[in-house]
Structure 1
Amino acid sequence: MDKLAILGGTPIRKDYLPYGRQNIDEEDIKVIVDTLKSDYLTTGPKVKEFEEKIAKYVGAKYAVALSNGTAALHAACYAAGIGEGDEVITTPLTFAASANCVLYLGGTPVFADIDPKTYNIDVEDIERKITDKTKAIIPVDYTGQAVDLDKIMELAKKYNLIVIEDSAHAIGTEYKDKKVGSIADMTEFSFHPVKHITTGEGGVITTNDKDLYEKLILFRTHGITRDSDLMTDNNQGSWYYEQLDLGFNYRITDFQCALGISQLNKLDDFIHRRRELVNIYNDKLSKMDGVITPYESKDSNSSWHLYVIQLELEKFNGDRKEIFEALKAENIGVNVHYIPVHLHPYYKKLGYEKGLCPVAERVYEGIITLPLHPSMKNEDLDDVIMALEKVLDYYRK
């Protein structure tokens, strides 16, 4: 067996393979340049066009584009009326923004544990965590797999709660043959460079509720409106506007949305390639002792933002850290998604403790994210498999 690179051996790859990356072509560059040469740089016609195309793609009535995914979650919590004393239930196995957005408005995140197979939020534990202070649920489509939306929406109806689906990982994902983005009260998507499509930074909220839509629009632009139907004084000139609430400057630019439109035209091809790569991963890794491949519910057709394996650490002499660093030394850009939110020092200062979500904590100890993006070639995937075999064989008991 070749010597591990971390011990001085030759790496499997000469160049580093990142776990995720944007896929930008000449067409994308051209539309950005064309927009930069136009009359609009910030909010203009491309923003509206992007919103309309996103709404049509997911099957929602409305879409509101914002400066990033976190801003979109913040706006959704505002539109949901989250405030001091309100509790919002979410998952710990997510990026911190899924919970931080609740804190921004004075609410309290409540963490329900995860399902040990899907790694999505456990619906039964959601119901156990509901109190008379609960106002909303923020389920996360982890790695791109849809949460059990039917059960979550039933719970929301039963307890009069709002559902904000965090689909930062899941544009293009289908739940029971219907795209996410059209089912929950509000759905958030992210367009960070490692996501399915990118606007550099950017996010969007989709909804079928006109009242929520109007609140989102208001929040995005300082709480200011020029809509005569919303203003208190309609007898002023065309220059007139009113601030109706305390909003933020969460606007997205026209050239970002021009890129988003171009990327959206390629989204289905990107997803097709991601699914091809996942099928190869599943086929090869299902035969590898000590590796658990991702489980996918029959109700979800994932668009696969991330490919996360679980190591059966009892079968290895090394721990996850040693295996992780050894893979990176082979120039494989592995990552870990995510550190459970309640284990971060900031959340510990707020009173959250280890042991709160034992399944999420156990899963976290053994997960590793492998590279997955549509620009990957089959040969790149083969390098990942070879590196994984090399490293795991070294550490295997």
Structure 2
Amino acid sequence: MNINLMHDSLTNKEITAVLDCLNSGQYTQGKIVEDFEAQFSKWNGSKYAVMVNSGSSANLLMIQILKKKYNLNDRDEVLVPAVTWPTTIYPIIQNNLSPLVCDVDDTFNISVESMERMITKNTKALFLVHLLGQPANLREIKIFCKKHGLIIIEDSCESMGAKYNGLKVGNFGVMSSFSLYFGHHMTTIEGGIITTDNFEIYELLKSARSHGWVRNSSRSEKYKNEFVDTNFVFDMLGYNLRSTNLNAAIGLVQLKKLNGFIKIRKKNHHDFLTQISKIPGLKIQKIDLKETSSFSLAILFDTKEKRDYMLKELPKRGIECRLIVAGNLLRQPVFKTSNKKLKADLCSKADEIHDFGLYLPNNQFIRHKEIQYMVDNINDLLNQFQKNENKGLDLSIILPTFNERKNIKILIPKIMEFFSNKDVNFEIIVVDDNSPDGTQEEVNFFKTKFKNIKLINRKRKEGIGAALNEGYNSASGKLIMSSDTDLSFKVEEMGTLYDKINQGYDLVVGSRYAKGGFYEKKNIRTLSKGAISYVGNKLWALMFHLPVSDFSANFRVIRKDVWDKINTTEKNNFLLFEMIFKTSLISKKITEIPVSFRDRIYGHSKLKLYIEAPKAVSKLLKYWFKWKLLRLR
């Protein structure tokens, strides 16, 4: 079963209407647009309507006319909710006004309490959004606006046909926008429309829609003595935001079906609420089933991880879903740049919607069978998620760092994507030796995005062995993997390590010297380093007869229960050999896979061979004698 967010509602009737329009030769804005405007305003209970090419264009026109009609000054303030589409806020900024961003309430619409906190003496208007088919709290909002002398304009783009006390939205402000986009309550494919009861606003909207001309407006009388043809007189700034007769022809057919469409959507929403309420731990948008026109079916989960899991898994089962509108707009990159920072309340409810929310499809083609399928799959996936949580972590990935900011910025997203796609329950533990380059700040940024990242900040720089020891000892996964963070190894080969150890091994080492392995030697430094590494590892292999050819690469995976038994003590690079050596004393299930090793792109190696090589020789002899003694026993 496939349940999509948008469903084609066009039939032969709409196609015939378009063909009739094409045959008439009248394609651009004309009588059919005027007919549609008249029919829509009648349907909505408004005096006038102005059709444009999108709901976003409708918002742009309304803000321009708001400023002109009510003589707003630059930097005057307009209250807006944090949860809406960006083109509710963009026109405010584009017209040199200042948005005051407020939190939302349980209806997902603007909160009166938040507006009370944000309003100032410079606040002149409220851009009132009715989100996802649910009218805002109009009783309290009207009292608030009357108290503070605020002008109301409405964004009803997602709530066509919704009502408050029996009156349709779009009739509570001086003007209101509606969207006629393909996925909305009714469609003209692309399109928008503005309603108003104010004749002056109506004429200004029409002029601004068409270049700012006075044509077909009462203002043309002012210029008839000055201009021969007032059809080409322009007395205000404007745009070309017109729609076409073709779009309006579709709209006239769709409008006749709109009440039926909304009735089905409301029935679906009632069915959905009845079913979804049986699943514990979910929050639902607070709606009034009598008043809503139900744009979609919105849910809040109790954790971000559950929401993200649903976004990933529901489409695999044929259920399209998405984030709620644009989430908290304050967290969108466009509003984080210095020249677009917004005055805003602490928007905790908007954050909750941003982090925990998604919405499911609702349209006039969905019936009980589809509703039941969506609810059953949500319930099943929540149970599956809980089982995954209960079974514990499959894998811990240890990343030791010192001054690896640029590399970790690339590596962590790659690991997250790769192992998430493998459906592995994993954690990443970054063990940082107090890097001064901002490595920890980079990791902390990722921690805000992903629950499964941990950071260990070591105040002393004792070496990679000590860092790995601390990371391995902090691991919760059944398997523990470690890798350098300099991008020398491929993330895909981490997957090969993971697959190999799950074939029954206790320790799997990534080897640059196994058949099929690769060690990049692109200059004198890497050539000499590679030669010393090759000779040293060959020597170790000959001396200890172990089933690996690369003892010094930090690219391996070990079972946690084995790690817990071997009691490593080395604090420098020699821990990598110690791990293999001590594992070999208790298990024969050790193997290697060939891997590719490339020189780092960013930063420089912390390994100083002239210091570590003599230490390694000394340690090597110590372990060799120990190994010999054990064999003699």
Using structure 2 for the length normalisation, give the TM-score.
0.57
- Superposed displacement of residue 366, structure 1: 1.2
Q: Corresponding residue for 1:348?
A: 336
User: Does the CA contact (< 8 Å) of 1:22 and 1:198 recur in 2?
Assistant: no
User: Does the CA contact (< 8 Å) of 2:17 and 2:249 recur in 1?
Assistant: yes
Please say if 1:323 is aligned against 2:310: yes
Spell out the pairing of 1:211-360 with structure 2 (5 A cutoff): 211-227=200-216, 229-231=218-220, 232-235=222-225, 236-238=227-229, 240-297=231-288, 301-313=291-303, 318-338=305-325, 339-349=327-337, 350-352=340-342, 356-360=346-350
- Superposed displacement of residue 227, structure 1: 4.1
Q: Corresponding residue for 2:95?
A: 105
- SS of residue matched to 1:224: coil
User: Does the CA contact (< 8 Å) of 2:275 and 2:372 recur in 1?
Assistant: no
- Find the aligned partners of 1:354 and 1:99 in 2 and give their Cα distance: 12
User: Does the CA contact (< 8 Å) of 1:165 and 1:184 recur in 2?
Assistant: yes
Q: Corresponding residue for 1:91?
A: 81
- Superposed displacement of residue 376, structure 1: 1.8
Deviates more, 1:149-158 or 1:257-266: 149-158
- Superposed displacement of residue 291, structure 1: 2.0
- Find the aligned partners of 1:361 and 1:354 in 2 and give their Cα distance: 13
- SS of residue matched to 1:230: helix
- Superposed displacement of residue 66, structure 1: 0.7
- Find the aligned partners of 2:231 and 2:188 in 1 and give their Cα distance: 32
User: Does the CA contact (< 8 Å) of 2:103 and 2:345 recur in 1?
Assistant: no
Deviates more, 1:73-82 or 1:232-241: 232-241
- Distance of aligned partners of 1:215 and 1:283 in 2 relative to their CA distance in 1, 3 Å threshold: same
- Find the aligned partners of 2:345 and 2:101 in 1 and give their Cα distance: 11
- SS of residue matched to 2:173: coil
User: Does the CA contact (< 8 Å) of 2:102 and 2:345 recur in 1?
Assistant: no
Please say if 1:59 is aligned against 2:45: yes
User: What's the CA shift string for 1:85-105, capped at 9, x where partnerless?
Assistant: 121111011111111121121
- Find the aligned partners of 1:27 and 1:198 in 2 and give their Cα distance: 13
Q: Corresponding residue for 2:110?
A: 121
User: Does the CA contact (< 8 Å) of 1:22 and 1:195 recur in 2?
Assistant: no
Please say if 1:70 is aligned against 2:61: no
- Superposed displacement of residue 354, structure 1: 9.2
Spell out the pairing of 1:196-211 with structure 2 (5 A cutoff): 196-211=185-200
- Distance of aligned partners of 1:290 and 1:228 in 2 relative to their CA distance in 1, 3 Å threshold: closer
Instruction: Compare CA radii of gyration and give the structure with the larger one.
Output: 2
Please say if 1:17 is aligned against 2:6: no
- SS of residue matched to 2:129: coil
- Distance of aligned partners of 1:386 and 1:132 in 2 relative to their CA distance in 1, 3 Å threshold: same
> Match for 1:36 among 22, 33, 36?
22
User: What's the CA shift string for 1:275-304, capped at 9, x where partnerless?
Assistant: 111111111111012222332148x60000
> Match for 2:364 among 357, 368, 374?
374
Structure 2 residue runs without a partner (length 5+): 391-633
- Superposed displacement of residue 109, structure 1: 1.4
User: Does the CA contact (< 8 Å) of 1:355 and 1:361 recur in 2?
Assistant: no
User: What's the CA shift string for 1:218-252, capped at 9, x where partnerless?
Assistant: 11001012247313421344574210111000001
Which structure has more RCO (C-alpha within 8 Å, separation ≥ 6)?
1
- Find the aligned partners of 1:105 and 1:172 in 2 and give their Cα distance: 29
- Find the aligned partners of 2:298 and 2:94 in 1 and give their Cα distance: 30
Q: Corresponding residue for 2:156?
A: 167
- Distance of aligned partners of 1:228 and 1:55 in 2 relative to their CA distance in 1, 3 Å threshold: closer
> Match for 1:188 among 160, 177, 183?
177
- Find the aligned partners of 1:178 and 1:233 in 2 and give their Cα distance: 40
User: What's the CA shift string for 1:196-219, capped at 9, x where partnerless?
Assistant: 000111111111111211111111
Q: Which amino acid aligns with 2:34?
A: K
Q: Corresponding residue for 1:177?
A: 166
User: What's the CA shift string for 1:46-105, capped at 9, x where partnerless?
Assistant: 111111111111111111111100110111101111552121111011111111121121
User: Does the CA contact (< 8 Å) of 1:140 and 1:147 recur in 2?
Assistant: yes
- Distance of aligned partners of 1:325 and 1:207 in 2 relative to their CA distance in 1, 3 Å threshold: same
- SS of residue matched to 2:376: helix
- Find the aligned partners of 1:93 and 1:356 in 2 and give their Cα distance: 13
- Superposed displacement of residue 355, structure 1: 7.5
Q: Corresponding residue for 1:146?
A: 135
- Distance of aligned partners of 1:221 and 1:323 in 2 relative to their CA distance in 1, 3 Å threshold: same
- SS of residue matched to 2:207: helix
- Find the aligned partners of 1:208 and 1:74 in 2 and give their Cα distance: 19
Q: Which amino acid aligns with 2:333?
A: P
Structure 1 residue runs without a partner (length 5+): 1-12
- Find the aligned partners of 2:57 and 2:20 in 1 and give their Cα distance: 27
| Identical residues among aligned pairs (%) | 28
- Distance of aligned partners of 1:35 and 1:76 in 2 relative to their CA distance in 1, 3 Å threshold: same
Q: Which amino acid aligns with 1:311?
A: F
Aligned length, in residue pairs? 378
- Superposed displacement of residue 391, structure 1: 0.8
User: What's the CA shift string for 1:100-150, capped at 9, x where partnerless?
Assistant: 1211211121111111x2111101221321112212111111111111223
